[in-house]
Amino acid sequence: MILQKIFHNLKSPGIADSWLVHTRLMQYFLKTGLKSYNFLVMRTGLFQQAITGSQGTGNTLDPTAIIDYNHVIIGDFTTIEKNVVIEKNSTIGNHVLIEDGAAIGSEGFEFRRVAGEVLPVHHTGGVIIHDNVRIGQRVCIDKSMQFPSTEIGNSSVILAHSHIGHGVKIGQDTLLAEGTMVGGHASIGNRVRIGKDCSLADAIIIGDDVVVPDRTVVTRNMQKMIHEPGNLS
Amino acid sequence: MNRGTYHDPRNGSRVAGDHEGILMRLSDYGTGDCEMIRDGMFSSLGSVFTRFPGQLVSATREDEIKKIQRNPSVTCVITVDRLVMQVPENLGILSAGDPWKLFHEIAGSLSRQKEQTLEPFENQISPSAIIHPSATIACRSVRIGKHVSIGKNVVIHEHTAIEDGAIIRSGSIIGNSKTPLSSGISDNDTMKPLGGVHIQRDVDIHANTIIDRAFFKGCTEIGTQTKIDNLVHIGPGAEIGNRCLVVACAEIGEAVRIGDDSWIGPNVTLADQVLIGKNVYITLGSAVTHDIGDDKVVKDNYALDRKRFKKVMRGM
């Protein structure tokens, strides 16, 4: 949690734009700090939290699916189709359907521009998929930077070619149509419907029972239904 | 350099035969639903940015015609009716309803001529590269550098060069050679592209991304330390600069040039043959159809100066 607070504070514009951060000494300090953190995460178990894997009964797992069985929990009566990739620290509930080519628990998109270089921040979190969820073809769900995990609530449906960023929370009975892009750390309520090819900015909050039309760009928090599609920025 | 061969230093391949020697007449290809305005000779295909001698290009927008006026190596243009008057007088012109489709048909018919195909070479895969057993790598003409990590279900096609330290994550396809305009079983299915894909040092490509092969000479280039997120599609012949960040679901068109340190936001669409400058910030959901200069912020279809944008945002 302390690490998460540090990363969050470094990202806020008050600190990121200040002259102190852009001094040569501070840039060197940040660069070595980030590089040593990445090294420790990759080579040692110091910041790693790994869950031990288990499998329920009645599952249909295709032999072409690649699942890290040692660190993935799978519930009962779950179907996983062809060429699905499920990475470390994923938890999948009961009666879940995951369709062809989905990538669950892959690395999130978090980079820092420090001292003229683009440095990655390695992710150690996971993904939790609750019961009765359907995940479409070629959907990508990224794992969170640290715990708590990216979460998808009960009875939600995510259709083909959608992208769910790191640290997203999706409530119950929510539908995300084809091609939806959800940015990192967004929070979506219960019974929400999001149309085709929408873009949701990072760290926004969408309340319960909201309906978003097709091809909408959402950059502000939303608490009620909107009727006209278009750019909300 | 030997005039008879074209040598590509990046992936060690070589185009046999003489590109500059074979001159083709534009009127030979002017069949079907197109109109011949002025005849001309060409010897190769390219985009409005490339400088191959005697090249044929396609243009559908006014700013593409302006780029052709500045490019002395263009000799023939395929364009639409309303732009015919703006083309310089010394160039051969073919007017068609769908210029890109005709351009791809010409590319397909040229690539079937035996002397214009790329010469294959043996795979050069470094022993320190980590390749998952489920990944599929073409049996020839692939070069993979040191400490490259290739994930699950990745497909790597021929004429791909991946430099040291690059990471390719699960489900990505590198070197896809189908053009977007080939529908069903057509002549384009037998097309053999003349280019490849070149991925430079420390590039990170996330899950389910597709990168197309260039169909004319040269490569689809991804610069050093550029990071590409999930579900991105990069068109044939695109060149992305160093230290760029391309976020999820972005769609980058054919032969686009992107400068260094740029940010291409989520769900952005870049039109074909667009020039994006250095240090550009394109916000989410934008559709870009014209050129963007250096240090600009693009918000939907509007372009603003980046410093002014920061001031406005702070004032809110």
Structure ipTM = 0.90
Written as six digits, the tokens of A92 are: 């999948």
Chain A residues touching residue B226 (CB < 8 angstroms): 118
Please give the Cα distance from B133 to B180 (Å, whole number).
30
- Collect all residues from B whose CB is shorter than 8 A from any CB in A: 134, 151-153, 169-171, 204, 206-208, 225-227, 229-231, 243, 245, 247-249, 261, 266-267, 283-285, 299-300
- The larger pLDDT score, comparing residue B245 to residue A2, is at B245
A36 found inside a domain: no
Amino acid at B144: I
Domain ranges of chain B: 17-116, 123-315
The structure tokens 């840039």 sit at: A27
Instruction: Annotate B11-37 with b (16+ C-beta within 10 A) or e (fewer).
Output: bebebeeebeeeebebeebbeeebeeb
A228 found inside a domain: no
* A138 near B CB under 8 A: yes
Secondary element (H or E) of residue A218 = strand A217-218
**A58-112 per-position pLDDT tens digit:** 999 999 999 999 999 999 999 999 999 999 999 999 999 999 999 999 999 999 8
A 10 A CB-CB count for A44 gives: 9
Beta pairing partners, B124: B143
Q: Test B266 with A101 for CB contact under 8 angstroms.
A: no
Please give the Cα distance from A17 to A210 (Å, whole number).
35
A83 found inside a domain: yes
A85 found inside a domain: yes
pLDDT at site A20: 79
A165 found inside a domain: yes
Which of B203, B229, B245 to mutate: most A Cβ within 10 Å?
B229
Please give the Cα distance from A204 to A218 (Å, whole number).
9
How far, in Å, are B54, B62, B126 from residue B80 at the CA level? 21, 11, 48
Q: Count structural domains, chain A.
A: 1
B250 close to B267: Cβ distance less than 8 angstroms:
yes
A140 found inside a domain: yes
* A107 near B CB under 8 A: yes
Beta pairing partners, B130: B149
Selected residues 2-61 of chain A with any CB under 8 Å from a CB in chain B: none
A129 found inside a domain: yes
Catalogue the active-site residues of A. Answer: 166
pLDDT at site B15: 45
B285 close to A231: Cβ distance less than 8 angstroms:
yes
Which of A113, A140, A143, A162 to mutate: most B Cβ within 10 Å?
A140
The pLDDT-based confidence of A229 (bands split at 50, 70, 90) is low
Please give the Cα distance from B289 to B301 (Å, whole number).
8
- Specify the 3-state DSSP secondary structure of A135: strand
**B120-152 per-position pLDDT tens digit:** 889 999 999 999 999 999 998 999 999 999 999
* DSSP code, position A222: B
Instruction: Give the CATH number for residue A100.
Output: 2.160.10.10
Residue B249 is nearest to which of A83, A179, A217, comparing CB atoms?
A179
* DSSP code, position A71: G
Q: Test B206 with A163 for CB contact under 8 angstroms.
A: no
Class of B123-315 in CATH: mainly beta
Per-residue pLDDT of chain B (316 residues; tens, 9 = 90+): 333 344 454 544 444 444 445 778 888 876 677 788 888 888 888 888 888 888 889 888 888 898 898 888 888 999 988 888 888 888 888 888 888 888 877 877 777 776 666 788 899 999 999 999 999 999 989 999 999 999 999 999 989 999 999 999 999 999 987 665 555 445 545 566 778 899 999 999 999 999 998 877 788 999 999 999 999 999 988 999 999 999 999 999 988 999 999 999 999 999 988 999 999 999 888 888 888 989 988 876 545 566 666 777 676 6
Class of B17-116 in CATH: alpha beta
Domain carrying residue A88: 52-218
Please give the Cα distance from B176 to B196 (Å, whole number).
9
